[in-house]
Amino acid sequence: MTMRILALAVLAASVAACGDESSITNVGDVPYHVELRLVDPLTGDPLPVSGGSTDWPLGLPDGPVAEITYSADRITPAVPLTVRVTGAGLVQAEVDPFAEEGGGDVDQAVVEIPLALVDEQARTVRVDLVPPTRPGRAVLTAVLGGVSASVGIDFDLTDVVLELAAGGGVADGATEVPVTVRGAPRQVVELETSLGSFVAPGFTTTASLVLQPDPDDETAGLAQVGLVSDTEGAAVVSVVGAATTWARVDFAEVRLVIGSPAAVAFEPGRLIHDVCVVLNTARGTVGLANTSADAEVLDGDAVPVLDADGAPPPDCPAGDFAGYAVFRWAADGTTDNLTADWTGPDGAGTATVSRRVTGAVFAGYDGALDSTALDAGDPFLLLLEAELTYRAAGGLAAQPAANVPLEFLVVGAADPEEVFADTRTSADGRASAVYSVAAGDELQVFVQPDGWSSIRLGSAP
C-alpha cells in the first residue's frame, strides 16, 4: 500500500492567552492524554464500540468521523498529533483550534497535525474517514507524544436483501426483470450479473445503486434496477463483496404460438379469418406468411407486438402470454402452412414458429329477385333488382354479400336485350339491371358471382 502523509499547516493562534513557551518544563513521565471516539457524520451521535471495534455499513457515501480529544498534565513543547488508518482513508474535515484542513487517501493513510500548544485544556480535532470499496476491517490510531488510542471499524454490507419479481424473464433483450435491493439507507451497493446486463446507467454487467430512504420508514433503504438478456439461461445476480447475497433469474427463450383461424368476415368466394399469434414477450415485431396458392395472408408485414396485459383477445390461444399480434388470413376450406417470425427491438434476436391450419368452408350465396316494368309497350323496359346474401358459414350468420363482382344472365323466348346492368353488388348486397323485353315474354333470371356457379333468382315479370 502507498503511504500518503499529509502535513497540515499550523494555524496562527494567540499563544499569549495560554502562556509563554519559555515557561514550559520538560520533566517527569509522559504527560499526554488522548481519547478517540467515532461519531455518525449525519447525527453526530457516538458510535457504540464493543470489544475495541464498531460497525459501519459499507457503501455509504461518507465514513464515520473520528473525534480526537487531547490534553496534557502540564504545558509541554509543541508536538504533532498523528492520526493513522489502515484499511480505509482519511480526509481532514475540521480542526479546532490548532490545525487546519488536509486530506488523505484509501487503503492506508496518515494525517500529521502540528499542535501549537498542549496543556491541561482538552481540545478536539475531527478527521473524516474515507470508506473502502470492499468489506473488511480498518484500524484507526491516534498518537500524541508516545500515547496512543485505537479503534477498529468493521465495514460490512448491512442487511442487504435482493428481491426479484416472480416468473423469471424472457430473453428478448428488452423486457426488464426488476431487481430490488433493500438495506440500510444511503449505502452504495454494487451488483453484478453472470448473464445479461443492467439497464442503468448503461447496459453493463455491473450496477452501482444508492439505497434511498423509504419515505414511510427512513431507517430502511431501497433501490431498483432492471435486468435484461437476449440469451436464454440462468443469470446469477450477486452483491459485490457479499458472496452469500445473490438471486437467480431464469431467462426463457422467446416463444410464439399460432392460434386457430377464426372466421370473422365474408369476402367473395372465401372467408376472412383472424389468426392470433401470442408470445411470451410484449416487445419486438411479428410477421406472418403462408405457402398455399389458394389462401392469402392479407396483412403479413411485420407489426409491433401488442401488450396483452395478461389477457390476450378471446380468439387468441389461452395462457399467460405477454404480447400478441392479430393477422387476417383469407381461405375457403384451405389447408395452409403459416409461419410467424419474431424480431427483437434491436433487430438481433429472432424466433420462428410454423403451424398447419385449415380455414372455414365458404358456403356460397342465396339470391332474391324483384322486377318492375318501367313503361308499357312492346317491347318494354323491365327493371330487375337482385339481392345477394352470403350463406351462414364458419360460425358467421348470413349477411348481405357486399361488393361481389357478378354478371346478370337473362333467358327468354324473345331474346331480351340488356340495356344496363351492375357488375358489382352494393354495400347492402343489391345489384340492378334493365332489359328490353317483348310483351308476354317470361324471363328466367340468373346471376353469376365471380368465381362461383350461377344462381337462379326466379322468373320475371
DSSP code per residue over 84-98: EEESSEEEEEEEESS
Q: Give CA angle at 78 (88, 38), nearest 5°.
A: 30
Contact 147, 36 (CB under 8 A): no
Q: Between 28 and 312, name the one with better pLDDT.
A: 312
% of the chain residues with pLDDT over 70: 90
- Judge whether residue 348 has pLDDT over 90: no
- Judge whether residue 308 has pLDDT over 80: yes
Alpha carbons 326 and 308: distance in angstroms, whole number: 12
Alpha carbons 124 and 93: distance in angstroms, whole number: 12
Per-residue pLDDT at 59: 66
Per-residue pLDDT at 22: 35
Q: Between 15 and 312, name the one with better pLDDT.
A: 312
* Nearest CA among 348, 350, 358, 363 for reference residue 290: 358
- The cell numbers describing 359, all together, are 380455414
- Judge whether residue 121 has pLDDT over 80: yes
Per-residue pLDDT at 7: 29
- SS3 percent helix, strand, coil of the chain, rounded to 5, is 0, 55, 45
Q: Between 101 and 35, name the one with better pLDDT.
A: 35
Per-residue pLDDT at 2: 34
**Mean pLDDT within 94-109:** 48
Q: How many CB atoms lie within 10 A of CB 101?
A: 12
Per-residue pLDDT at 383: 96
Per-residue pLDDT at 24: 40
Q: How many CB atoms lie within 10 A of CB 104?
A: 23
**Mean pLDDT within 309-332:** 91
Contact 252, 222 (CB under 8 A): no
**Mean pLDDT within 73-90:** 87
**Res. 28 pLDDT band, cuts 50 70 90:** low
State whether residue 394 is helix, strand or coil: coil
**Mean pLDDT within 72-80:** 88
Lowest mean per-residue pLDDT among 24-28, 222-226, 241-245, 403-407: 24-28
- Which range, 22-26, 237-241, 454-458, has the best average confidence (pLDDT)? 454-458
- Judge whether residue 45 has pLDDT over 60: yes
Average per-residue pLDDT for the chain: 86
Per-residue pLDDT at 58: 73
- When computed from its CA atoms, the radius of gyration of the chain, rounded to whole angstroms, is 44
- Judge whether residue 38 has pLDDT over 80: yes
**Mean pLDDT within 324-343:** 97
Alpha carbons 147 and 81: distance in angstroms, whole number: 10
* Nearest CA among 336, 141, 200 for reference residue 258: 336
- Which range, 25-39, 70-84, 177-191, 329-343, has the best average confidence (pLDDT)? 329-343
**Mean pLDDT within 186-203:** 88
Per-residue pLDDT at 107: 65
Contact 199, 228 (CB under 8 A): yes
% of the chain residues with pLDDT over 90: 59
State whether residue 404 is helix, strand or coil: coil
Alpha carbons 350 and 341: distance in angstroms, whole number: 7
- Judge whether residue 15 has pLDDT over 80: no
- Which range, 16-30, 53-67, 237-251, 342-356, has the best average confidence (pLDDT)? 342-356
- Which range, 117-126, 166-175, 273-282, has the best average confidence (pLDDT)? 273-282
Q: Between 89 and 432, name the one with better pLDDT.
A: 432
- Judge whether residue 400 has pLDDT over 60: yes
CA dihedral 383, 387, 388, 391 (to 10 degrees): -150
Q: What is the DSSP string of 192-237?
A: EESSSEE-SSSSBSEEEEE-EEETTEEEEEEEEEEEE-SS-EEEEE
Burial class from Cβ neighbours inside 10 Å (0-12, 13-18, 19+) for residue 420 reads exposed
Q: How many CB atoms lie within 10 A of CB 252?
A: 15
Alpha carbons 237 and 181: distance in angstroms, whole number: 11
Alpha carbons 94 and 92: distance in angstroms, whole number: 6
* Nearest CA among 295, 377, 309 for reference residue 339: 295
**Res. 421 pLDDT band, cuts 50 70 90:** very high
Query: Which of 245-249's residues contact partners 24+ apart within 8 Å by CB, and which partners?
Result: 245/157, 245/160, 245/161, 245/162, 246/162, 247/162, 247/163, 247/164, 247/179, 248/164, 249/164, 249/168, 249/169, 249/177, 249/179, 249/195, 249/196
- Strands 296-297 and 270-279, bridge-based pairing: unpaired
**Mean pLDDT within 224-244:** 89
CA dihedral 226, 230, 236, 242 (to 10 degrees): -50
Q: Between 197 and 30, name the one with better pLDDT.
A: 197
- Judge whether residue 270 has pLDDT over 60: yes
Lowest mean per-residue pLDDT among 94-103, 193-202, 319-328: 94-103
